[in-house]
Amino acid sequence: MTDRNPRETGISRRDFLRFAGIASAAALLPGQLLASVGDKTVAKDFSPAYGIIPPMVTPFTRTGSIDWNALDHLVEWHIDRGVSGLFVVCGSGEMYDLTPDEALAIASRVVKRSSGRINVFATSSLKRRYAQVDENIALTKRMAETGVTGCFITLPSDAPTGFWQPMDDSMVAYFRKIHDGTNCPLYIYENPMGRQSYKFSPDAMAEIGGMERYISVKDTSTIRHVPRDTALAPIKAKLEAVGDSFRIMQADPKWFLESLKLGCSGGINITANVAPSLHVELYRAFKKGDMATAVMLQDRIFTIEKLASGGSVKAWKIFLKLSGLPMLTVTRSSGSYTKSPDNITQMLEIVRKAEADLGIHTPVPKAI
């Protein structure tokens, strides 16, 4: 199974349509592919679900309000490093410590700042409770009006529990209700901050992914501290189950490259908060078949994650400040970075050395 992003496959729309049994390429818009949804075939725009999409931090002032100037600089910093999109109002962005109005304002600002140069995504289901699905539908409608490329839907924190099938049924029903109540591209946020006891089964993923407006998932189902085949078995099963109806983006920095090999279309990795250039080069190297470079970068990315372990949001902000961005290290979420300051310095050295080794030019933060 390979990455099926239409921008990079080299398959013409006419050839794809001929393969699908459709006579005219006029049936699709640029960037769209056909997907089976129930007993019908519909056009889905999968083009945003590829490449590197950092789950971006939210800068705050000393008083805890949103730092709009720092946010603008951070958007430019990521764009300069070649990302294909940004995911705002997310776990790394302390989404549950934002008000709905703040979430909407952040999404609007990033959409405006990026000016169509990249895709912008945002979480639109900030109510954690299963029973508050109607409030999440209302916020999703408002979020879509900001101009974001797509809205991410999180897992409810208090969904009915039980054996695997009843849990699947409740999750499918929840995501279907949001799908049927909205009219915008939707993405699934399999977020460890949500219902940690639940990961989508292949059947549930295929059923939700087969709905008309669900495009992709930020997947967290890989397993740590086990052999490769065991670790990747859940995501491999999901890829086989969804076929061409859906895309899977890998969230686990450790298994990013291996997931690309299996057929994931890109990554939404927390480590891209500080090393977007390394993730972008890994993805490019993979697409070119340069496995030596891709493996080298994968090792460095995983080292960065280990150095940040135990306080990543704070660590990302410390790193970004040391990198020259005009932002503070203030967080709203509880906890603080408890590792040695040397860890941040090591992270910075890893990124700079890798960029130098590969001849990557990354502009220093500039005044806006």
CB under 8 Å to 15, separation ≥6 — which residues?
none
Query: Which pLDDT does position 13 carry in this prediction?
Result: 32
- Name every residue whose Cβ is closer than 8 Å to that of residue 18 and which is 6 or more positions away in sequence: none
Q: What does the pLDDT look like over 301-347, one tens digit per residue?
A: 999 999 988 678 999 999 999 999 999 999 998 666 777 889 999 99
178 and 156 in contact (C-beta within 8 Å)?
no
Lowest mean pLDDT across 146-155, 156-165, 227-236: 156-165
Burial of 161 (0-12, 13-18, 19+ CB in 10 A): exposed
| Alpha carbon 54 to its chain's center | 6
Mean pLDDT of 288-292: 98
| Residue 106 DSSP SS3 | helix
Q: What is the C-alpha separation between 123 and 91, in angstroms, rounded?
A: 9
Range 250-269 average pLDDT: 97
Give the sign of the dihedral formed by CA 191, CA 152, CA 53, CA 28.
positive
If you average pLDDT over residues 222-241, what whole number do you get? 95
- Over 80: is that where the pLDDT of 284 sits? yes
Query: How many other CB atoms are found less than 10 A from the CB of residue 331?
Result: 20
How far is residue 90's CA from residue 316's CA, in Å, rounded to a whole number? 14
Q: pLDDT grade, residue 4 (50/70/90)? A: very low
Query: Given pLDDT bands bounded at 50, 70 and 90, which one contains residue 12?
Result: very low
Structure tokens at 308: 């940040």
Radius of gyration of the chain (CA): 20
Domains of the chain, earliest start first: 1-37 (no CATH), 48-358 (3.20.20.70)
